[in-house]
Amino acid sequence: LPLWLKPPRSLQGLAFLGVGSRRPAVAAMPISRNQQNKKKANRKPLTKDGDKQAEDKAEARLDAARKARAQEHKTAGNEAFAASKWLEAIEHFTEAIEEDPSDQVFFSNRSAANLKLLRTADAVDDAEQCVRLAPEWAKGHSRLGAALWADRQLKEAVAAFDAGLRLDPESEAMQTSRKQVLEEIEKAPPPVEEEEKAEAPAPPSLHEREPVIGIDLGTTYSAVAVWDTALGGVRILADDSGNRTVPSYVAWGDDGERLIGHRAKAQATRAPKRTLFDVKRIIGSHSYEPAVQEEIRRLPFDIKKVEDDKLAIEVVTAEGQEPRRFAPEEISAMVLGKMKEIAEKDLGREVKKAVVTVPAYFNDAQRKATQAAGAIAGLEVLRIINEPTAAALGYGLDQKSGGQDCGHVLVFDLGGGTFDVSVLTIEGGIVEVKATGGDTHLGGEDFDNCLCDWLCAELKKKGFTIDDKVKVKAKRAAENAKRALSSNEAVEVEIGEIVGGEDGVLPVARAAFEKLCQPLFSRTLDTVKAVLKDGKLQPGDVDDIVLVGG
């Protein structure tokens, strides 16, 4: 997929530094009802032994092919494990399990990789499945003992080592581990009496601590996540409709009701003057900046210059009322408030603290404005974290660096409305920004605008009048066409989608669209070259590239 359609990953790195969710221990492969019915419909009595033999041979070939693919994934997983790439190893072992869930070795190896990442519960689950598949395999019991030991289930760990030693009494590794676990049990402090417990209350557990949410405040879409102690990783929260991303749109209905998210975006074509979006592009900025002046000309709602060259968005919030002015921070606060509301509904408690992402090149004024938006929304913003750093953590690159090995990672983040490139140095799990650059006025929206301008120009040639409502409809049609061109060489835009009651189509080829957007592509590559130069790096010095989209 093109960059502007790739899913955001930066959210998973927010503040929590999580390493992903738990996987099920067994890859279930049920046969669908349609497949069952099809088998029944095609079932015929066998009249020759040869028919049965042919079926058996075909099934055997299929099983052999799947087992061969599973072994390939296992080999790749072992290589990743040897290179200390634990997350990559887990991915390969999981692929092997999906191909052949009957091989205990795959579960054993994934348990070992999970243990390296301190995912002790996952390691125990995999080791238990390994033992269920091969109860006579001593190594499986050894693996289970190690996982239980790390999970602090010490008595159960001893029992697992005992079971393994009954199968392999000469195993020095299991003997040593069993001895060490017994020593830990002996050194453990005696249980505290109930009366003493009442006198000294225990510190709050992770479940009881005040939650801190992570918010990806995007130009076009926003999302919210929280560290889930049960999953042992980051969980992105969904709204009432099950959507894990919410459009960064704020609007007012005819009756003055304030709308945020999907409902606000849905009324953009009907009430463009009362539907606000792309506010992140002007937050913390001044009216005299050339990029801001371009945004004022482009956006369909009214943006006014106020005191100290600051900006205010003017909107009539209800029919017959006087226009109201809102600072960009206030509009962003409404989106942040929506994220807060989603989190509180999911967690069942009040949320007061958050970590928010911003582009790495945001200046001090833009960062302070974002923090002010959080305060207006009733959130204490504990930290503003750079989006490339969050993306690297979300992709687990801090886990892939392999001990003390140093690596240079280039994060190419082309979001919905902003673009930035950062070179990160990762050493010993520590992520440091070496160089960064970008453009607060370059993103997926600009690709939409290129195609939107072309559609409007073509309609104008055909004699149609282009007003604000036509422009908004053309923008929506352009976005839909852009998405369709990701999987098609050409698409047709119905003129009736833009100008009501009119027939005809406007054909758009992928090659023509790419030609329209060539200046935008060039701007991104120029930024990459500049960032590498600032970081005193050559292209060959980059060890990994992360493509992030919005």
Task: Determine which one of 74, 139, 265, 280 is catalytic.
Answer: 280
DSSP helix/strand/coil, 240: coil
Percent helix, strand, coil in the chain (nearest 5)?
50, 20, 35
Residues contacting residue 458 through CB under 8 Å, at least 6 positions apart: 506
Q: What residues pair up with 409 in beta bridges, in sequence order?
A: 424, 544
Place of tokens 């592509």: 521
CA–CA separation, 491 vs 34, rounded Å?
A: 34
Two tokens at 510? 């992928």
Per the listing, tokens 């040869």 go with 50
- Let me know if 387 is a catalytic residue: yes
CA distance 517 to 449: 10
Q: Which helix (H) or strand (E) holds 301?
A: none
Position of tokens 């943006």?
Answer: 303
Q: Among 91, 239, 329, 413, which one carries the catalytic annotation?
A: 413
Neighbours of 373 (CB within 10 A): 28
Helix (H) or strand (E) holding 157: helix 154-167
Parallel, antiparallel, or unpaired for β 490-494 and 419-427? unpaired
Catalytic residue, candidates 91, 151, 278, 387: 387
Please answer whether residues 275 and 264 qualify as being in contact, where contact means their C-beta atoms are separated by less than 8 angstroms: yes
Instruction: Find tokens 């709602």 and name the residue.
Output: 301
Return the DSSP state at 45.
-
For 372, the token pair is 């002010």
Task: Note whether 383 and 389 are within 8 A (CB).
Answer: no
Question: Which among 331, 260, 229, 277 is positioned nearest to 22, based on CA atoms?
Answer: 229
Q: Please choose, from the candidates 282, 283, 309, the residue with its C-alpha nearest in 3D space to the C-alpha of residue 298.
A: 282
Token pair listed for 307:
């005191």
Strand pairing partners for 228?
A: 233
Q: Which two tokens stand for residue 181?
A: 């676990």
Residue 413 among the catalytic residues: yes
Q: What's the CA gap between 497 and 501, in Å, rounded? A: 9
Question: How many residues are recorded in the chain?
Answer: 550
The Cα–Cα gap between 456 and 450 comes to: 10
Query: Residue for token digits 């290129």?
Result: 450
Query: Please, are residues 384 and 369 in contact by the beta-carbon 8 Å criterion?
Result: no
Tokens 């497949």 locate to 35
Distance CA(343)–CA(91), nearest Å, equals 30
> Which residues are annotated as catalytic?
216, 280, 387, 413
